[in-house]
Amino acid sequence: MLDISRKKVVITGAAQGIGLATVKRLIKENCAITIWDFDQQALAAAERELKTLGAEVYCQVCDITDEARVNELAVQAVRDMGQVDILINNAGCVIAGRFCSHPPAAWERETKINLTSMYYTIYAFLPAMLERNSGHIVNISSGAGLTGLPDLAVYCATKWAVYGLTESLRLEAMHDRKFGVRFSSIHPGILKHGMFEGTRMNFLGEFFVPRLDSHDQIAEVIVEKALKRGKAMVMRPQGSQVGMILRGLFPDTLLNWMLLLSGAGGCMDHWTGRPGSKHASNE
C-alpha cells in the first residue's frame, strides 16, 4: 500500500463529476490539490463547497487545449504547492452521432480535449517527476477505450489512444529504470448520471456490464486502486474485464455481433448528457 497523504495533486476537469468526487477523497488523505476546469460557474461552486471542508485547494480556470495556459498554470501549481506529485488527467468531452453527422472540425475539437491536452499536461509535469524518480500520472480512459461503439467513433478513438499513451509512458519509465514514476489508466463503464446521462444498453448489456450509480465509484478506484496500490489499469464495473477476455477468444466480427445483440447499436439513442452541456462536459 502506497502512502499518498499530503501529496500535491493537479486534477483537470475537477469541478464536477469524477474529478470532483476524486478531489473529495483526496482531501481525506490530507492532499493539497490544484483544480483546473473550463467551466467558471461550476468551478466557483466547487471551490465554495471544498473550502467548507477546510481543504488546501487552488482553483484555476483552464482551457486544457491551450498549451500556453497549461504551462502558465503548471508553474503556478508548483509555486502554490511546492511541487506536483500526482497528475490526474480527467477532463474530457463527448460528441455523439454517426461519423459523417459532424464536420471534421468537431472531431478535432473532441480529440484536442480528450487526447492532445494530455500531451500538454504530461509534458508540463513529467520531467520533474522523472528527475525525482517519484510521481504518478493517472489518465482517465474509458470502457470505450477497450471496444468500439456506434455513434462514439472519435470518443472511442481518443480513449483507445489514452490507454496506449499510458502504457507506452509506463514502459519508457521502466526501461529507463525510473520505477518511482507510475502510470495508470482508468476505464469507467457507463455512468447513469453526468456526461453519459440517458445512455443505456438492453437487458443483456445491462446484465453483463451494468451502469454505474455514482462518480464516486470511479473516484474510489482512482484513489484506492491506482494511487494507493499502484494498479496500472483499472476497469469498473468488473464485467468490463469479460470484454477483454472475449476479444482474445473470438473473431472480431463475432464480437461485434455480440455487442450489437447487447444493445450497443442503440446505446446513444436516448443520450442527453449533463444538463446545459450536451456536447461537451467533464468526465
Strand partners, 183: 137
Q: Is 203 helix (H, G, I), strand (E, B) or coil?
A: helix
The arrangement of strands across the sheet holding 86-89 comes to 57-61, 32-37, 8-12, 86-89, 135-140, 181-188, 233-236
CATH, domain 8-266, list 3.40.50.720, 3.40.50.300, 3.40.190.10, 2.60.120.620: 3.40.50.720
Q: Average of pLDDT values for 139-150?
A: 91
Q: 123 an active-site residue?
A: no
Does pLDDT of 275 surpass 60? no
Q: Is residue 43 within 8 Å of 59, Cβ to Cβ?
A: yes
Can you tell me the distance from the alpha carbon of 232 to that of 120, in angstroms, rounded to the nearest whole number?
21
Residue of 58, 119, 123, 155 marked active site = 155
For residues 114-127, average pLDDT: 98
Domain residue ranges of the chain, discontinuous segments joined by +? 8-266
Q: Which residue has the higher pLDDT, 143 or 175?
A: 175
Residue 262 confidence (pLDDT): 81
pLDDT in tens, 72-98: 999 999 999 999 999 999 999 999 999
- State pLDDT tens for residues 243-262: 677 777 878 888 888 888 88
pTM: 0.91
pLDDT of 283 reads 59
Query: Mean per-residue pLDDT for 24-42?
Result: 97
